[in-house]
Structure 1
Amino acid sequence: MQDLTQFSTYLFTLAIAALLPGPGMTGLMLKTFTQGYQRALLMLLGLITGDVLFLLSSIFLIDFIHKLSPHFSVYMMLLCSFYLLYLSYQYWNFQDDLFNENTQILDIKISFSAFQDGLLITLSNPKTISFYLALVPIIFGSASLQEKTIVLTGLTVLTLFIVGSLYIFAALKIKKILNQMLIQKLLLKGLALMMCVLAFGMLYKELHVFVL
């Protein structure tokens, strides 16, 4: 029963984290806009690979990390909050055309292959790092996760593939609407506000707990 509750909490939290706009899913939409859904799917595989690497790090290395720093999870959540504020600032002030093939948000470069794009974005994303190295240990507590590696990996891959596919599908559907620069700006500013609210909420929660 406890395992079911923990897995359900993990799935729900992972789905919410994946649905919230960040560099990975935004890059996935840009890839769909500029290069089509085939390359977007390759990029999604790269994103998922990066997530799996962090998940495995959380399973096999988290005890060692926490011995080095007892407040590691707090530091990671604070880092994630500040990174979301940075993303919010970037999105709010973005002025280019999303359909420009040379468009770069957060230094997403077309020069890499689609798979490498996804992998590098995930490996450099504090939001992803914080989720696996800070939230996953909180969800499962002190219990060993090594015997649950296969199940957790399968659930992670399936959840991220579903969410990523939804982003690709949505990008294909709204491509015509987003040809208008005004609509693009409204979308980006809406995403910026959402991330800003989330970041301040996380900051308040972590600082409040840390101070107490």
Structure 2
Amino acid sequence: MTLMTLLSFALALAIAAAIPGPGVTAIVARALGCGFWGTLPMIIGLTLGDLIYLSCAIFGLAAIAKTFGTVFLVLKYLGGAYLLYLAVKLWRATPDEGLGATVSRDASPWRGFLAGLLVTLSNPKTMVFYLAFLPTFLDLAAIDLTSYVELCLAVIAVLLVVISAYALAAAKARALFRRPKAVRAMNRGAGAMMAGAAVAVVSR
């Protein structure tokens, strides 16, 4: 794979990742409630979901993946349900607990990781990018092990940069709110965003 092809893929992925969707909304809401480090497991889960779809496209599993309609629906509703659960926890968090403290205590890194993975696997935009757009962009039959590793590294690098930028911005905004009323408003705003992400995941 040429450097130009790899850079073109990275640019296309960066543009797709930067467009706000359920994943970005969930990340921002999580960062508002838990800060950047509390959001990192969800970012890793989102990235793994992309790597799974990339692997499906490259190894010719796209047709199989598309036939798993029931599995896709289960993943979609699981992801939506967990995001809604987080939304409720954020909404109900009280100012004296600190911003998102209830969610921080209740949501383990593993749960955050699983939520990120489910959101990506149930996101039609991600599926279309890898299983429909990618085959028209790259000659998947010509990709060898080296090219596959290069693409995986590009996915990891791009998503960590783009998604982390959203998380960092939200975490910095979180630090500006210290008064009880502001904390409550931020908690409920983050909860509403998380609920919106849950609806977006389920309705698509």
Looking at structure 1, the residues matched to 52 and 40 of structure 2 have their Cα atoms a distance apart, in angstroms, of: 19
Counting only pairs closer than 5 Å after superposition, residues 1-212 of structure 1 correspond to structure 2 as: 3-61=2-60, 65=63, 100=91, 113-141=111-139, 143-147=141-145, 148-175=147-174, 176=176
Provide the alpha-carbon RMSD of the alignment: 3.7
Looking at structure 1, the residues matched to 124 and 166 of structure 2 have their Cα atoms a distance apart, in angstroms, of: 21
CA shift in 2, pair 1:10/1:101, >3 Å: farther
Structure 2: gaps (5+ residues): 67-86, 94-99, 101-106, 194-204
Q: Is the 8 A contact 2:58 2:140 kept in 1?
A: no
Structure 1: gaps (5+ residues): 73-95, 104-109, 189-212
Provide TM-score, normalisation by structure 1: 0.60
Looking at structure 2, the residues matched to 36 and 174 of structure 1 have their Cα atoms a distance apart, in angstroms, of: 10
Count of aligned positions: 156
CA shift in 2, pair 1:98/1:6, >3 Å: farther
RCO (CA 8 Å, sep 6+): is it higher in 1 or 2? 2
CA shift in 2, pair 1:164/1:101, >3 Å: farther
Greater share of residues in helix: 2
Give per-residue Cα distances to partners, 1:95-123, cap 9 Å, x unaligned: x99962689xxxxxx69811111011111
Identity %: 33
Name the amino acid aligned to 1:54.
Y
Provide TM-score, normalisation by structure 2: 0.62
CA shift in 2, pair 1:134/1:60, >3 Å: same
Give per-residue Cα distances to partners, 1:89-148, cap 9 Å, x unaligned: xxxxxxx99962689xxxxxx698111110111111111111111111111135422331
CA shift in 2, pair 1:27/1:142, >3 Å: closer
Name the amino acid aligned to 2:91.
N
Looking at structure 2, the residues matched to 7 and 100 of structure 1 have their Cα atoms a distance apart, in angstroms, of: 42
